[in-house]
Amino acid sequence: MTVSDCVFCRIAAGEIPARLAHSDELCVAFHDLNPQAPVHVLVVPRRHVASLFDTGEGDRALLGELVLRASAIARSLGLAEDGFRLVVNTLAGAGQSVFHLHLHILGGRPLAWPPG
């Protein structure tokens, strides 16, 4: 897949409309089109990274910032009182269907364990 074929790269570039929850120089966050909870937002780095397996030592700052931004976004969406789940699916066997690294913010209802 090329970056020009990646739906999340195209959303980050503003080529595909999305209901944004956050946007800055590092990432965009948008509401999932197929939500699995009342709040289901994806946090996507602007730089194309296919999965966690495509990160390395040089990506420590990126990964840390994505988690910190996810926490701030969750708070802004009203999830501070009851909490939220942060999920990163890595590869198809774990449920990754778009091969651009993304974090799922899930909340707004009780979340069972194990998840699936």
109, 92 Cβ separation under 8 angstroms: no
Per-residue pLDDT of the chain (116 residues; tens, 9 = 90+): 567 799 999 999 999 999 999 999 999 999 999 999 999 999 999 999 999 999 999 999 999 999 999 999 999 999 999 999 999 999 999 999 999 999 999 999 999 998 86
- For 61, the token pair is 């700052």
Beta-strand pair 27-31/103-107: unpaired
Q: Is 102 a catalytic residue?
A: yes
- CATH number 3.30.428.10 given to 3-107: yes
22, 40, 100, 102: the catalytic one is 102
**pLDDT of res. 1:** 57
Q: Exposed, middle or buried, 42 (CB in 10 Å: 0-12/13-18/19+)?
A: buried
For the chain, give every domain's residue range.
3-107
Beta-strand pair 27-31/39-45: antiparallel
Q: Is the dihedral of CA 64, 25, 44, 55 positive or negative?
A: negative
